[in-house]
């Protein structure tokens, strides 16, 4: 009988360190050709151009198959709902039978940050301690949680265009992490002299400029996931040794890359490789302490399915979840 898992069930069995390790394995499986996924199918819905995406995948390790249904409805905050919602279904990879249905909102939030933490592990300087975050939403929060598991942070700065939001973020995350988080008044103030920069905004236009990024910085960019949107200008991308989660998806969806190509700042060959190449040792990551490195994340279905499989295994051991008969 399939299992139904709520967000509280998912949260209870998915600690960040375990998820980071799970994402590293999934990325390596993808790079090794041991996983199958198409570029996600995205429909625009309604006058607000809301998004409805379908993301199926199958993996050999972990042996898993499933799909995520994800929506982005821009006015949901006015209704007291998250803008990003998701449901993940898991299927038996031997029979195709339904094994689980679970809330995917938290998985999306957490696995995105966990993948960025993998990029920090392989691409940031070992002595990176200063983090600048652009954005103050759920991804900003989850990225601070994830990155502090792979680097010892001495200073965290946050910027968002709404002062009340960045101030609230600083207060909340200082309390939850036990480390001081400081709100700043401009993107440049967050980025300047930072060792690590997270771009997690909903801005359709660049908020990070090349001259605000110092030598040796690592950037994890997760916000812009459509071809006409960007969070950084072409100068940032051109300066950096660039890695993506999926080349195929990047050349279809990553506005940060596609707009830079259109402007002549880079060519497609500027992509050094996929993040999963690094744990396999196929490519060098950072090549010098002064090099700027960049991971452009779009999110892959294999990440969702691998995380969901881990959730199902842990929930089964702990007796969590509700049996569900879809035919009843």
Same-domain status, 140 and 261: yes
Same-domain status, 93 and 146: no
Same-domain status, 9 and 23: yes
Q: Rounded to whole angstroms, how far apart are CA atoms 2 and 4?
A: 7
> What pLDDT score was predicted for residue 328?
53
pLDDT category of residue 226 using cuts at 50, 70 and 90: confident
Same-domain status, 199 and 50: no
Q: How many domains are contained in the chain? A: 2
Same-domain status, 198 and 252: yes
Same-domain status, 130 and 164: yes
Task: Look at 151-155, 224-228, 286-290, 310-314 and tell me which has the smallest mean pLDDT.
Answer: 224-228
Average pLDDT, integer, range 105-133: 97
Percent of the chain with pLDDT strictly greater than 90: 84
Instruction: Tell me, yes or no, whether 328 lies in a domain.
Output: no
> What pLDDT score was predicted for residue 48?
83
| Chain segment 55-67, per-residue pLDDT in tens | 999 999 889 999 9
Instruction: Tell me, yes or no, whether 278 lies in a domain.
Output: yes
Average model confidence (pLDDT) across the chain: 94
Same-domain status, 205 and 261: yes
**pTM for the predicted model, two decimal places:** 0.94
Q: Which domain holds residue 150?
A: 119-299
Q: What are phi and psi of 189, to 5 degrees?
A: -65, -35
Would the CA dihedral through 53, 74, 247, 33 be positive or negative?
negative
Same-domain status, 11 and 28: yes
Instruction: Tell me, yes or no, whether 265 lies in a domain.
Output: yes
Tell me: pLDDT of 188 over 60: yes
| Chain segment 292-314, per-residue pLDDT in tens | 999 999 999 999 999 999 999 99
Same-domain status, 207 and 313: no
What is the CATH number for 97?
3.30.1780.10
> What pLDDT score was predicted for residue 239?
96
Tell me: pLDDT of 277 over 70: yes
What is the CATH number for 243?
3.40.50.720
Instruction: Tell me, yes or no, whether 102 lies in a domain.
Output: yes
Same-domain status, 307 and 292: no
Complete DSSP assignment for 192-215: TT-SEEEE----SS--B-GGG--T
Same-domain status, 157 and 273: yes
């Amino acid at each position: 009988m399939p299992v139904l898992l709520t967000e509280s069930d998912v949260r209870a069995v998915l600690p960040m360190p375990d998820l980071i390790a799970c994402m590293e394995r999934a990325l390596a499986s993808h790079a090794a050709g041991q996983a199958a996924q198409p570029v996600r199918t995205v429909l625009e819905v309604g006058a607000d151009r809301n998004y409805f995406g379908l993301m199926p995948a199958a993996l050999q390790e972990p042996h898993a198959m499933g799909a995520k249904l994800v929506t982005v409805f821009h006015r949901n905050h006015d209704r007291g709902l998250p803008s990003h919602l998701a449901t993940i279904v898991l299927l038996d990879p031997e029979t195709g039978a339904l094994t689980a249905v679970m809330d995917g909102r938290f998985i999306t939030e957490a696995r995105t940050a966990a993948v960025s933490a993998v990029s920090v592990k392989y691409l940031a300087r070992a002595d990176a301690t200063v983090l600048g975050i652009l954005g103050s939403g759920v991804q900003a929060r989850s990225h601070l949680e994830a990155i502090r598991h792979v680097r010892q942070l001495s200073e965290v700065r946050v910027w968002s265009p709404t002062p009340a939001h960045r101030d609230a973020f600083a207060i909340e995350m200082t309390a939850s992490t036990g480390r001081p988080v400081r709100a700043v008044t401009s993107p440049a103030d967050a980025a300047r002299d930072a060792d690590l920069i997270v771009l997690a905004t909903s801005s359709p236009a660049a908020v990070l400029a090349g001259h605000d990024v110092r030598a040796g910085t690592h950037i994890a960019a997760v916000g812009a996931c459509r071809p006409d949107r960007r969070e950084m200008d072409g100068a940032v991308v051109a300066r950096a040794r660039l890695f993506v989660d999926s080349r195929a998806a990047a050349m279809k969806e990553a506005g940060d890359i596609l707009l830079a190509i259109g402007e002549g700042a880079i060519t497609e060959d500027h992509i050094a490789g996929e993040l999963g190449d690094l744990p396999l040792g196929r490519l060098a990551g950072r090549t010098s302490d002064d090099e700027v490195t960049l991971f452009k994340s779009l999110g892959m279905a294999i990440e969702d399915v691998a995380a969901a499989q881990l959730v199902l295994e842990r929930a089964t051991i702990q007796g969590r979840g509700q049996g569900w008969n879809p035919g009843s």
